[in-house]
Amino acid sequence: LLWFSTKEKPFKALPGNRGWPLAGETLSFLKPYSANSLGVYMKNHISRYGKIFSSNLLGREAIVSADAELNRFVLNRDGKQFKTAWFAAAQKIFGRESIAFATGKTHMKFRSIIADFLSTKRLQTVFLEDADHLASVLTKSWRDGDVISAKQESFKYCIKLMAKSTLSIKEEDDPQMQMLQRDYSHFLSAIFSLPLNIPGMKYWNALQVYINTYLLFNKVRRKVVNMVKKTMGERMIDSSCRKKVFYEAGDEYNYDLLEMLMERKEYSNEEIEDFMLGMIFAGHDSTSRAIAFMLYLLANSPSAVITALQEEHLKIINSRSDKKQQKLSWDDYKSMKFSRCVIKETLRLSSVAPFIPKVATEDVRYKEMIIPRGSLVIVHMRAVQLDPFAFHNPMNFNPWRWLDACCDDEKRKRSYMPFGGGTRMCPGENLAQLEMVVLLHHIIINYEWEMAESAAPDQPIYLPYLDFPRGLHIKIKALHLFDRK
Residues lying near ligand HEM in the complex (CB under 6 A) are found at 84, 99-100, 111, 114, 279, 282-283, 286-287, 290, 352-353, 356, 418-420, 424, 426-428, 431-432
Residue 100 or 159: the one with the smaller Cβ distance to ligand HEM is 100
Contacts of 429 (CB under 8 A, 6+ apart): 419
CA 60 to chain centre: 26
CB of 344 to ligand HEM, least distance (A): 11
Nearer to ligand HEM (CB atom), residue 10 or residue 95:
95
**DSSP of 204-234:** HHHHHHHHHHHHHHHHHHHHHHHHHHHHHHH
**Of 10 and 428, which has the nearer Cβ to ligand HEM?**
428
- According to DSSP, the residues that pair with 78 across neighbouring strands are 82
- Cβ-closest position to ligand HEM: 428
Tell me the closest approach of the beta carbon of residue 428 to ligand HEM, in angstroms.
Answer: 2
C-beta contacts of 401-406 below 8 A and 24+ residues apart: 401/341, 401/345, 402/340, 402/341, 402/344, 402/345, 403/337, 403/338, 403/341
| Cα distances (Å, whole numbers) of residue 79 to 74, 94, 100, 101 | 10, 19, 11, 10
Compute CA 401 distance to the chain's CA centroid, rounded to the nearest angstrom: 23
The secondary structure of residue 45, as a DSSP letter, is H
CB of residue 34 vs ligand HEM: minimum separation in angstroms?
19
Q: How far is the CB of 352 from ligand HEM (least distance, A)?
A: 4
Q: Which is nearer to ligand HEM, 16 or 428 (CB)?
A: 428
How is residue 78 annotated by DSSP?
Answer: B
Q: Which is nearer to ligand HEM, 353 or 474 (CB)?
A: 353
Residue type, 73: F
Q: Which is nearer to ligand HEM, 31 or 111 (CB)?
A: 111
Cβ atoms of 44 and 365 within 8 Å: the answer is no
Total Cβ atoms within 10 A of residue 267: 18
* Shortest CB 111 distance to ligand HEM, Å: 6
Q: What angle do helix axes 269-299 and 303-318 make, rounded to 10 degrees?
A: 110
Task: Compute the least distance from the CB of residue 197 to ligand HEM, in Å.
Answer: 26
SS3 240: helix
Are 36 and 459 within 8 A, CB to CB? yes
What does the alpha-carbon distance between residue 382 and residue 378 come to, in Å, rounded to a whole number? Answer: 11
User: How far apart are alpha carbons 11 and 71 in whole angstroms?
Assistant: 17
Residue 82 beta carbon to ligand HEM: minimum distance, rounded to whole angstroms: 10
The nearer residue to ligand HEM, 92 or 111, going by C-beta atoms, is 111
Q: How far is the CB of 422 from ligand HEM (least distance, A)?
A: 7
Among residues 58 and 100, whose Cβ is nearest to ligand HEM? 100
Taking the complex as a whole, how short is the minimal distance between the CB of residue 165 and ligand HEM, in angstroms?
8
Nearer to ligand HEM, 41 or 419 (CB): 419
Q: Which is nearer to ligand HEM, 42 or 99 (CB)?
A: 99
Least separation in angstroms between residue 1's CB and ligand HEM is: 34
Closest CA to 346 of 278, 397, 388: 397
